[in-house]
Amino acid sequence: MQININERKVIQVMNEHIHPKGWTTSFTHLSWGVKADKAVYVAGMLSTDPVTGVITGHGDITAQTRQVIENIKVVLEAAGATLEDVTMNHIFIRDMTHYTEMNNVYMEYFKEPRPARFCVKLEMVKPEFLVEIATVAHIS
């Protein structure tokens, strides 16, 4: 097959907005996730029950990290992906003294080989939130 490097191939990818069944739709400024071809982009997840909007794990980084990753899991599954498809996590933590506890929960969910990630200290939208994770996955 010959390839002409001067030819341009245009591929149009339709974005599918992911809203898991039963989750609140009161956040009109965002989609819980967006699927574009085989890529899934999950919005920054906080430690809220996505159905009721109630914050879980007040003051408990372990409980909050678990809730955040469970929320990510639901969005991924609604898009046809799993945690094994995750390629990148963007982690925002309120206090780095909680890093080890957060990381222990993270490692329960993400097995070797783990996705790429970064973790930065950041003031959250509300002081009750201790961790937020945004995720990128590629469906295999």
Q: What is the pLDDT of residues 77-128, one digit of tens each?
A: 999 999 999 999 999 999 999 999 999 999 999 999 999 999 999 999 899 9
Tell me how crowded residue 31 is: count the other CB atoms within 10 A of its CB. Answer: 17
Domain 15-138 fold is 60s Ribosomal Protein L30; Chain: A; (3.30.1330)
Rounded Cα gap, residues 117 and 119, in angstroms: 7
Q: What is the DSSP string of 70-99?
A: HHHHHHHHHTT--GGGEEEEEEEES-GGGH
Rounded Cα gap, residues 67 and 56, in angstroms: 7
Q: Which tens digit of pLDDT belongs to each residue from 4-52?
A: 556 666 666 689 989 898 887 655 667 899 999 999 999 999 999 988 8
The pTM score is 0.88
List the chain domain ranges.
15-138
Q: Give the number of residues written for the chain.
A: 140
Rounded Cα gap, residues 9 and 3, in angstroms: 11
